[in-house]
Amino acid sequence: MTKRKSRNTFRAVKVFLFVFAAFSFFTAGHFFYNFLTHWSKLNVSKIDVRGVKVLNEEYVKHLTGFRMGENIFSYSINPLIYRREKWIKNIKITRAFPDRIIVNVRERIPIALFRKETQGFVVTFDETIIKNIERAEKIYALPRWDRFNDTSAGTRKRVVDFLRALHSREYEFYEKLVDFKIEGESLVMNMKDYKIYFGHPDKSILKDKFSAVSKIAEDALRKGGTLDYVDLRPFTKKMRSAIIKLKNEVGKKNVK
């Protein structure tokens, strides 16, 4: 009986010590947190915004609602900011102790622009549609997407996928692309100097087709001709041929 009482007493002491230690730890932590969040030396005196190209730094500060003079631990990002401004793909804050907040912004990257009535919009790499900002056209070489509103959702997705591939694999051609549209199932591209009837916007033979266009353009230039258009609709993996129109001349050419 005595042994049982001793064991129970020992357990009670252990429980008491555990509760006391936990309470002490919690109290100390709470006290330390209150100290940090009210310590004047941790009040923010500078807010930096990084990563913006299209958006304005002051505008981002306004969106976040951040003001100087508050404790460095009081700053956080409201998820509603992604609804208010779709140009922002991701935004995070970094605390640079003792008194600086860094707002790191990752903007969406536009890949084409179009108009709906009087309003301009851009289509981004992740297929988001955003109201255009004039500054974006000065930073990015954006082709105009004609008849965008008449293009089905499925075709839009294929075209954006094609443009992403063009941007990453053949940027020289993407940069020279002025405007484009879908006619039937064919992609028609107006370059700075000539037109390309690409055919179905299939990225699987994109590199082969544009390699053919480069050879055709170089050949025309070498012969003193001016290229009007290149029709790549007959071009396939097996039959590498294209219809070429120079000024005052039409011909069909096999491309190696």
CATH number of the domain bearing residue 190: 3.40.50.11690
**pLDDT for position 1:** 52
- Say what percent of the chain tops pLDDT 90: 74
**pLDDT for position 28:** 47
Examine the domain organization and report whether 139 and 214 are in the same domain.
yes
Of 107, 126, 141, the residue that ends a domain is 107
Structurally, the chain folds into a number of domains equal to: 3
Mean pLDDT on 206-224: 92
Contacts of 179 (CB under 8 A, 6+ apart): 143, 144, 145, 146, 190
Contact 103, 67 (CB under 8 A): no
Examine the domain organization and report whether 47 and 25 are in the same domain.
no
Determine how many CB atoms are found less than 10 A away from the CB of residue 29: 10
Examine the domain organization and report whether 130 and 230 are in the same domain.
yes
Examine the domain organization and report whether 85 and 50 are in the same domain.
yes
**Residues recorded for the chain:** 256
**pLDDT for position 37:** 56
**pLDDT for position 41:** 82
Closest Cα to residue 196, out of 241, 239, 242? 242
Question: What CATH number does residue 90 fall under?
Answer: 3.10.20.310
Examine the domain organization and report whether 6 and 116 are in the same domain.
no
Of 107, 125, 156, the residue that ends a domain is 107
Q: What is the dihedral of CA 166, 169, 175, 176, to 10 degrees?
A: -70
Predicted confidence band of residue 35 (pLDDT cuts 50, 70, 90): very low
Taking only the tens place, the pLDDT of each residue in 67-119 is: 999 999 999 999 999 999 999 999 999 999 999 999 999 999 999 999 998 89
Report the predicted TM-score, pTM, of the whole model to 2 decimal places: 0.81
Predicted confidence band of residue 26 (pLDDT cuts 50, 70, 90): low
**pLDDT for position 86:** 98
Q: What angle do CA 244, 249, 251 make, to 5 degrees?
A: 40
Contacts of 162 (CB under 8 A, 6+ apart): 187, 201, 202, 203, 206
Examine the domain organization and report whether 96 and 138 are in the same domain.
no
Of 76, 92, 107, the residue that ends a domain is 107
Contact 227, 193 (CB under 8 A): yes
Examine the domain organization and report whether 124 and 20 are in the same domain.
no
Residue range of the domain that includes 63: 40-107
Examine the domain organization and report whether 28 and 94 are in the same domain.
no
The residue whose two tokens read 């990225």 is 203
Examine the domain organization and report whether 199 and 241 are in the same domain.
yes
Most confidently predicted of 116-120, 146-150, 235-239, 243-247: 146-150
Examine the domain organization and report whether 127 and 249 are in the same domain.
yes
The residue whose two tokens read 């301009």 is 120
**pLDDT for position 60:** 97
- Say what percent of the chain tops pLDDT 70: 81
Mean pLDDT on 113-127: 95
Over the chain, what is the mean pLDDT?
87
Examine the domain organization and report whether 21 and 135 are in the same domain.
no
Give Dmax (Cα) for the chain: 116
Mean pLDDT on 126-133: 96
Examine the domain organization and report whether 118 and 224 are in the same domain.
yes
| HSE-up (13 A, CA, CB side) for residue 67 | 3
**pLDDT for position 207:** 94
Residue spans of beta strands (DSSP E) within 155-240? 177-183, 186-191, 195-199, 227-231
Taking only the tens place, the pLDDT of each residue in 155-212 is: 999 999 999 999 999 999 999 999 999 999 999 999 999 999 999 999 999 999 999 9
**pLDDT for position 221:** 86
